[in-house]
Structure 1
Amino acid sequence: MHGFSIYLGQSIDKSYIRRMVDLGYTTIFTSVQIPEENENTKYRYLGELLDYLSNDQLTYMIDINPSLLNHSFYQFLKQYQRANFIIRIDHSTSIAIVNDIIEHGFQCCLNASIVSEQLLQQLYTQLYDFSYLCYCHNYYPRPDTGLTTNFVQSQDNLILKYNPNANIYGFIVGTTKRGPLFKGLPTIEETRYMHPLKSAQLLLDQSITHVMIGDPSISQTYAHKLMSLLTKRHFNLSITLQDAQVESILSKQHTVRADNPGNVVRSQEARHYCQTAIEPQFNVLRKTGTVTVDNQLNGRYQGELQIIKSTLQPHDHVNVVGQIINDDIPLIECMRPNDTFEFTIHTRS
């Protein structure tokens, strides 16, 4: 249910949409209440989007003012039978509006950033069908107005108190920013200038279940790596190789140990991959982002592979064998026990 955003201020970018859908993004967020967009064309572009993807089974989250909900709008959506629609009410929420959306056969999405316990209590006792409800946080175009992690977690805890299996959505910044400010569309302010994968992990850590790209597009490289994180808990790290004698170990897939420590990421399998003696060399300072393999001086630990998270002093038993590229270093902080990872190896020239 992770997804991306398409805005209706201009004709849709079909090639970008197709790439994202083919990568496995199954939810598209859009809005029919953005002031900068033309009232006369936005519904035409919405129809263009739905027509283009009419053969795909996707979910569309449509942000709309309750005053715009009417029979014609519902009938417009119902002609797209393969689509699943979520109607997001930003404000002016009432039990009557929520039930009206559900009775017309659509899911209703509440604004997770402002939902109150009073409303949740009312919904819990009066809602027509609680399973048709989901929640989506705001995004914040203006710098310094995004939410804190503590506030997001408190809101999500409140939602989960009344709906333990709730689907909760949140936004991260893309690579092509939306105007008029072009400062990104994050839910959490801390993530405004953060690596997209690190931003996504921060949302997941606050009990958000579905990550949405708020801006109009994200690069294909990030989109691919993000989907790998969200659906497989798998990371691909590009490294510059320094010690060729361990290339066979680095070329295999690894699993983060279940008892992973704080300063390093440890491979579960690396020692088993080690088939030949590793000579001591490159016993230098272990900086953040370096990859190390223990040499033969470390006895049965020979072949132990670690990714360094915090700077460690040189050790005669430990070879610094490679360096993760700068753009991938933030991914180290996203790695959790039992995640998998592999390296794309670049030989140092």
Structure 2
Amino acid sequence: MHGFSIYLGKPINKTYIRQMVDLGYSTIFTSVQIPEEDESTKYSYLGELLDYLSNDSLTYMIDINPSLLNRSFFQFLKQYTSAAFIIRIDHSTSIEIIREIVDNGFQCCLNASILSESLLCQLKAQLNDFQRLCYCHNYYPRPDTGLTASYVNSQNRLILKYNHNADIYGFIVGTTKRGPLYKGLPTIEATRDIHPIVSGQLLLDHHTQHVLIGDPYFEAEQAQKLIAALRDRHFKLAIDLYDQQCEYILQYQHTVRVDNPEHVIRSQESRHYCQFSLQPNYIRMRTYGDITIDNQLNGRYQGELQLIKQPLPQHPHVNIVGHVETHDLPLLECLRPNDTFEFNIISRS
């Protein structure tokens, strides 16, 4: 249930919304309590958003001050029968408010960034529908105020201690930043200026199940690559090709071996893809980001494809056939056993 954010300070961008939904982003985060937004128009824009997507089965997470919850607001949401609504309250949490949200048929979301063990104990003891709670971390517009990965990990472990199947959400930065600071909206401070897939993977590695793009816009190509990585565990790597005798092997999809070692990423299928004898070529020291394929001197290992993660000495049996482009190098740290990957050849030497 990875998603994106739509803010209600100006008319909604229907083209962008349709693009993201069609790519497979199934959760939309929005807020009705942002100080910079016009109180007189935000609810009409929310209605416009819900009307536009009324035929799509999506989940909406609405961040709201509990004081704004009332019968008319609940009735307004209930008319959209194809939608699932999560009401997020980030402060003034009480048993009564949570019960009111749940009793009206909605899921209640708590602020994962500030949740305490004492509150979780209280909620588990007093709520009949404790399992219906979900959790979403804050995003942090001001630089240097975001959370550490270790803190996100500890908060998520605390939540999972009380609810092993809890849904936990966190934010990464988009490509067009939201004002007034325009510095991105991440949960983890260290992800403010790094590759979005790496940002998302860091959240997943620390027990956050769902990644939300915090900022109001995410470029289409990056959005496609992100959802493919997070949802489908598939990665597309831009590369420079050196050895054209091996190009046909690089045109296949590859799977990371289950027994993958520490210093390289091994393709599960590449030896089976190899159809011709590969001559020794481009023999040199192997560096981070190199793509290697074993040549005919390596016998039955001919065709073995590896992505290099640590410097390794040159070997007469191993051809350097290409290199991952600088922008995609961080993705090597995201690949896990059974993930799939493919290559996009940008240049040929």
**1:321-336 to 2 correspondences below 5 Å:** 321-336=321-336
CA contact (8 A) 1:99 1:128 kept: no
Alignment check: 8 A CA contact 1:170 1:211 kept = yes
C-alpha displacement at 1:76, in angstroms? 1.0
1:173-224 per-position Cα deviation (integer Å, ceiling 9, x unaligned): 0110001111110000111111000000000000000000000011111110
Q: How does 1:135-174 map to 2 (within 5 A)?
A: 135-174=135-174
Name the CA distance, whole Å, in 2 between partners of 1:303 and 1:54. 51
The 3-state SS of whatever aligns with 1:288 is: coil
Mapping for residues 103-142 of structure 1, pairs under 5 Å? 103-142=103-142
Q: Are residues 1:10 and 2:10 paired?
A: yes
Q: After the TM superposition, which of the residue ranges 322-331 and 145-154 deviates more from structure 2?
A: 322-331
Residue 347 of structure 1 deviates from its aligned partner by 4.3
Q: Distance in 1 between matches of 2:213 and 2:81?
A: 25
TM-score by length of 2: 0.98
AA of the residue aligned to 2:107: Q
User: What count of residue pairs does the alignment treat as equivalent?
Assistant: 349
How far 1:343 moved relative to its partner? 1.1
Is residue 71 of structure 1 aligned with residue 71 of structure 2? yes
Q: How does 1:223-302 map to 2 (within 5 A)?
A: 223-302=223-302
Give the residue type in structure 2 aligned to 1:281: N
The alignment yields a C-alpha RMSD, in angstroms, of: 1.0
Q: Which residue does 1:29 correspond to in 2? A: 29
CA contact (8 A) 1:239 1:346 kept: yes
Distance in 1 between residues matched to 2:118 and 2:259, nearest whole Å:
42
Name the CA distance, whole Å, in 2 between partners of 1:24 and 1:228.
9
Shift of 1:327: 1.7
TM-score (norm 1): 0.98
Letter of the 1:204 partner, please give it.
L
Q: Cα offset for 1:319?
A: 0.7
Q: Residue type matched to 1:4 in 2? A: F
Q: Distance in 1 between the 2:285 and 2:181 partners?
A: 43
How far apart, in 1, do the equivalents of 2:90 and 2:84 lie? 19
4+ residue runs of structure 1 moved beyond 6 angstroms? Answer: none
Whole-angstrom CA distance in 1 between matches of 2:192 and 2:310: 24
Following superposition, the deviation at residue 123 of structure 1 comes to 1.1
Report the alpha carbon displacement of residue 166 of structure 1 after superposing the two structures with TM. 0.2
8 Å contact from structure 1 (residues 102, 128) kept in 2: no
Match of 1:25, SS state, is: coil
User: What's 2:344 paired with?
Assistant: 344
Counterpart amino acid of residue 252 in structure 1: Y
